[in-house]
Amino acid sequence: MSRPEIEVRGLHKSFGDNEVLRGIDLEVGRGEVVCVIGPSGSGKSTLLRCVNLLEEPSGGQVFVGGAELTDPDVDIDAVRRRIGMVFQQFNLFPHLSVTENLTLPQRRVLRRGKAEAAKVAAENLERVGLSDKATAYPASLSGGQQQRVAIARALAMGPEVMLFDEPTSALDPELVGDVLAVMRMLAREGMTMMVVTHEMTFAREVADRVVFMDGGVIVEDGAPAQVIGAPAHERTRHFLSRLL
């Protein structure tokens, strides 16, 4: 079997005395979609942020595409270019148009020329269904449209892996579906994805695996039908019962 695209081994993370991740082992295969669920404060965001080194792990190892991010000699910028991240708050540049939001990182980070960056921007806006918003500014868009722009911006960098941290949690309910539809498309296309979400329908239908975290550890890791449909642990059952 080929090496997993994301590999987390014995990951620990503390903020001062607060041990937030207490030994996480996780693998995500190429093209696999793993949804991470769990109560607020259980360490889900910290785990995602350690996978692209937005947070520095206190211990353990993280590999993406076979490269060890936790190796002090690694070219972290090179590895990070393989990883796209989408946040709950879309983090678009408010003073830039939609197209400029997509071209700026390509030009700065990937050193793409103007024409190529514009072409890639247009392709990715089309993928998320927002070609008609190319010249708009973020403030004139709905939350759902802004989040789709944020996804297109990440995709324009050509990532091998996409990390989503509660991408629909800040959206009005009627706007959630459009964002989830884009994520379903990516999953179908074979993107490797880690998705922190409370959308259990999405997790059931799209995830290959669901990971339940509580108190900085993985309590359960398995197929959605198992973890959501027939959880083995009381903590998982308790969490799921409160979502209904």
Q: Is 20 in the site for ligand ADP (CB under 6 A)?
A: yes
Residue 95 has, within 13 A of its CA and on its CB side, a CA count of 0
C-alpha 28/C-alpha 6 separation (Å) is 5
Based on the shown chain and the rule CB under 6 A, indicate whether residue 41 belongs to the binding site for ligand ADP.
yes
Q: Which is nearer to ligand ADP, 42 or 192 (CB)?
A: 42
Per CB under 6 A, which region of 38-46, 110-118, 124-132, 144-152 contacts ligand ADP?
38-46
| Cα–Cα distance, 9 to 51 (Å, whole number) | 11
- Comparing C-alpha atoms, which of 40, 39, 46 is closest to residue 19? 46
Single out the segment in contact with Mg ion by CB under 5 A; choices: 41-49, 69-77, 93-101, 223-231.
41-49
Interface residue with Mg ion, options 45, 70, 147, 192 (CB under 5 A): 45
Euclidean distance between CA atoms 78 and 53, whole angstroms: 12
> Are the C-beta atoms of residues 235 and 214 closer than 8 Å to each other?
yes
* Segment contacting Mg ion by CB under 5 A, of 39-47, 58-66, 145-153, 221-229: 39-47
Q: Which residues are within 8 A (CB) of 217 and not within 5 positions of it... i.e. 6 or more apart?
A: 22, 23, 24
- Of the candidates 15, 56, 109, 201, which one interacts with ligand ADP according to CB under 6 A? 15
CB-nearest residue to Mg ion: 45
Closest CA to 238 of 222, 205, 215: 215
Is 43 near ligand ADP (CB under 6 A)?
yes
Out of Mg ion, ligand ADP, none, what residue 43 binds, judged by CB under 5 to 8 A for its kind, is: ligand ADP
Tokens representing 114?
A: 């103007």
If the CB atoms of residues 12 and 81 are measured against Mg ion, the closer one turns out to be: 12
Binding site for ligand ADP (CB under 6 A): 15, 18, 20, 38, 40-46
